[in-house]
Structure formats: C-alpha cells, structure tokens
A and B are shown apart, each in its own frame.
Chain A
Amino acid sequence: MTSNILLFLIAMMIPIFIPLIFIPFWTRKTESFGVSIPEEAYHRPDIKKMRQKYAWTNAILAIIITAVFWFTAAGRDENFIAVLFSILIFAFIVVSFAVYLIFHKQMKELKNNNQNWTRKPQLVTIDTGFRNQKLAHSNYWFVIPFLISILSIVITLTNYQLIPDRYPMQYNFSGEVTTWANKSYRTVLLMPIMQVYLTLLFLFLNTIISKAKQQVSAANPEESIRQNIVFRRRWSLFTIIMGTGLITIFMLHQLSLMYKINHQLLMIAPLVFTIGIVVVSIILSITTGQGGSRIAVKTGGENGTVIDRDDDRYWKLGMFYFNKNDPAIFLEKRFGIGWTNNWAHPLSWIIVLAILLLAFGLPKLLG
C-alpha cells in the first residue's frame, strides 16, 4: 500500500518536472534563457548545446529528487511523507531556478560578445486590426459552470435535511477521513461558493488571454499574428474545458453529501481528470509553443532585416517584467508558457493579492 502511495506521489511530480526540463525548447525563438536574441541565433550550435545542457541538468536533478524521495519515504508514516514531499518539490524549484540563473548569466555574456545582434534596427510592430479578431473563445461559455454552481447551491439548500450532522471534509491516501465538518448552512455552502469563485477565476483567466499584450514579430508580422491567434484560442479552449470539468467534479462531491454516490467514482473521477489535464497541457505546450512559436504556418517571411525591440532591461533576471512606462498589465512570459504580469503596474499586485486572499479566505471564513 505505501509503495502505491509513493508511486502516486512520484507521478504527481512529473507535471512539475517536465515543464522545467523542456521550457527552453518551448519558448519563442527570439528568447533564450530570458535574453532576447535574433531569431537566426536560436539555431546556433552553442545555444543549441546550452538548451540541451539545461534540460539534462534539470532531468538529472529530477532523478535525484525522485530517488531521495523513494529511499527516505519508504516505511515512514503519512505525515512524514507529506512534509518530505513538499520540501523536496520546493527544493527542486529553488535549485532549478538557480540553474536557470546560471544559464541566464551565460546567455547575457554571449549576447554582450555578439554586438552585431543588437545592431539591426529595433522595431516594435502592431496590427491595428488585431483586437477586431476573435482572440479567445467567448466568456459566455462560463454560463455553463456558473449554472452548475448555482444548481449546487439550490440542491444543497433544498435537500439540507439529507446532509448528516457530521460529514467528512478531507481524506488521507488510504481513504480514511481526517477532517470532519459540523453541519451548518455556512459549512455546507463552502463547496458551492468555491465553485462560484473558481468560475469567476477561470472567466478572468480567459479575459487575460484575450487582453494580453499583442506581440508581433517585426520581421514576420503576418506569420506571427496567425500563430499567436491559434495560441490564444487553444489555451482559451483549454481554460474553458478545464474550468467546467473542475466545477463538475466539485458538484459530484457536493452531491455525495446528500445522495449515495459510488465511492470509487468519487475517488477516480478527480484522478482521471487531473491526469487528463496534465497530459493535455503538456501536449498543448509541445505542439503550440510559447506565443504559438511551434505552430507551422505557410508564409515565407523575409528574415534578418530587422529585429524586435530589445526590452531586456525591463525583464529582471530575465523573468519578471517591470516597466513603469508600459500601461499593459498582462503579457506573455519570456521563459515559460503562458502569461505574466507587469509588476510595475499597481493593479498587478492588487489582482494577485485579491485572488490569493479569496482562495485562502473563503475556506477560512466558511469552513
């Protein structure tokens, strides 16, 4: 039984390992380890070697972490394993960030030694019609998870008498109850209110996807716009499906308070869902790439006459965007897949704080 739990936890590490190993291959070809480079430099043998070295370093690190986990956790009790797991994951992220910083520094030096990279005219291009196109799927899709959440509330309130006075809130790995909740209108509404919160959160994410800064390659505007639109639409669809699925699973759990629902279904549904989400997001990352850079489109753009503007100085450590003059709040990540904030914009901090406060505050308030 314990080795099953260990295997399960190791499987949980994979979605953390894989992106950290493969990120350099998924970024735009105009970025390398958080440093902007001309697209043709991406294929240089030395930069190619750096990517491979980075991937191998992280892969070996992942193997070490897994081995340490396997040998120290064997035979220990669940609390110990849980703490060990969190510490090791944290350690992996910290060490992997240190590895990134080393490569980032190397890349910066390489750029300094290649002054001709920045000698071409640096331009910023946008398409005035960009925002008239459909960049993300409609936010109206969130009517479905919203209705599911409302339905959960209605069913809970009308069947209140069916809920036992004490009901399980949390299980451990062996399926035993670790936390019980005393029935009250406040506690039984926790789950449906979290459903509403998550629906709004996913709606917000979908809005970011359509509103995030337009990034058009000055050398190949047409191609990069087409790639970018596909990129946004795919992740938008992913967000909608993932959000709706998650909220449906929450509903299933809420219903289990009132009705007899097959125990195995309750255990397996979230597991299958999680695995599905992880697999799909990795496939999406590989096939789409950051900003759509891995999507093949049919236009032979000219290369090498101009390059995109060098905004390295606004990217602290190549990772955190900090530009006071930029009114944009959301923009594409440099080293990774997805979007990040302009940390110089006060709204960024307010939004992040509000999301975190609600995520931790709601369960505290209602639980």
Chain B
Amino acid sequence: MYITLDLESEEPIYTQLKYQIIAGIAKKELSPGEALPSVRSLAADLSINLHTVNKAYQQLKQEGFILIHRQKGVVVNPDGVPKANEAYWSELESKLHPLIAEAVCRDVQEKDFLQLCSRIFANFNMKGDK
C-alpha cells in the first residue's frame, strides 16, 4: 500500500500517517497479519523523525489496529480490528457532534449529509470487493 504524506499540511504528520494506515485496512489494501515497515525504516523512508512514526504506531496499537512484536516487528492485527462496542459508539458520537453542529450552522440538509456518508462508505466497500 502507498502512504502519501503532505509534510507542509497543517494536519500533524502522525495523524496523517495514522489515518492512512486505518484507511488502508478499511480498503483491505492491508490485510490482517500483513507486515508493516519498522519504525526506523518507515521514518527513514519518509525522512521524518522516529518519534513521529512511533507516536502513530503506538496509537494504532492502543486502538487495536496493529500489533508490535519484539521479534516479528509491526503487523496488521491478525485477528482483525476489534468490533465496535459501546465505548466506541459513544466516542464516535462525540466526534461527530461538532461536525454535525457546524454542518447545521451552514444549512447543510440532513439527507445531503447522509448522502455524503453513503458515498464515503461505498468508496471503502467498493475497494474491498476488488
């Protein structure tokens, strides 16, 4: 899978990196158990600080997307990403809250918002069937 970062962007590099890996898993471009580059080699290839990669990897590990083995290195969680539970739902809600609040202020219709969501979902599912 390709990871593309915009080092000039306002979005921090570690979040860009984190979301690209999550998107890769969602699109099934990264399969369970697949090896990811080590912290050192990923940082060297991207010309970024080791801590930046480490931060992204640690968060991905805590959230169950990847495993970091001492010998085997970094792999996509072979058992799959943990399914959504109550905690996840409440977190999702609190993350969506400000986004929808802003959309309402800007007069975005509910059906347009949902349509956008469907489109993004479809994008992930389509890639998965390939």
Contacts and interface: CB of A to CB of B under 8 A. Distances in A.
A323 B47 contact: yes
Interface stretch (A6-14, A128-136, A190-198, A349-357): A128-136
B2 A126 contact: yes
6 contacts: A126-B46, A129-B1, A327-B43, A327-B49, A328-B44, A329-B44
Q: From A125, A216, A218, A327, name the one whose CB has the most chain B CB atoms within 10 angstroms.
A: A327
A127 B2 contact: yes
A46 interface: no
B47 A326 contact: yes
A359 interface: no
Q: From A122, A124, A131, name the one whose CB has the most chain B CB atoms within 10 angstroms.
A: A124
Interface in B1-21: 1-8
Contact of B1 (A127, A309, A327, A329): A127
B68 interface: no
A125 B47 CA distance: 11
Contacts of A221: 2
Nearest to B24: A128
Interface of A: 121-132, 213-214, 216, 218, 221, 309, 311, 323, 325-329
A23 to B, nearest CB: 23
B112 interface: no
Given A216-B2, A327-B44, 13 more contacts: A122-B8, A123-B5, A124-B47, A125-B2, A125-B5, A126-B42, A127-B1, A128-B24, A132-B35, A325-B47, A327-B40, A328-B44, A329-B44
B6 A325 contact: no
A225 B52 CA distance: 24
B4 A125 contact: yes
A128 B43 contact: no
Interface of B: 1-8, 24, 30, 35-37, 40-50
Q: From B37, B42, B45, name the one whose CB has the most chain A CB atoms within 10 angstroms.
A: B45
Given A121-B6, A127-B1, A127-B2, A214 B45 contact: yes
Contacts of B8: 121-122
A125 B3 contact: yes
B4 A311 contact: no
Nearest to A306: B4
Which 10 residue pairs spanning A and B have beta carbons closest together? A328-B44, A214-B45, A326-B47, A125-B4, A126-B45, A327-B43, A327-B44, A128-B1, A123-B4, A325-B49
B7 A124 contact: yes
A307 to B, nearest CB: 12
A221 B43 CA distance: 18
Nearest to B52: A325
B7 A309 contact: yes
A218 B4 CA distance: 8
A87 to B, nearest CB: 40
Contacts of A326: 44, 47-48
A122 B47 CA distance: 14
Contacts of A216: 2
A131 B41 contact: yes
Contacts of A129: 1
Nearest to A310: B8
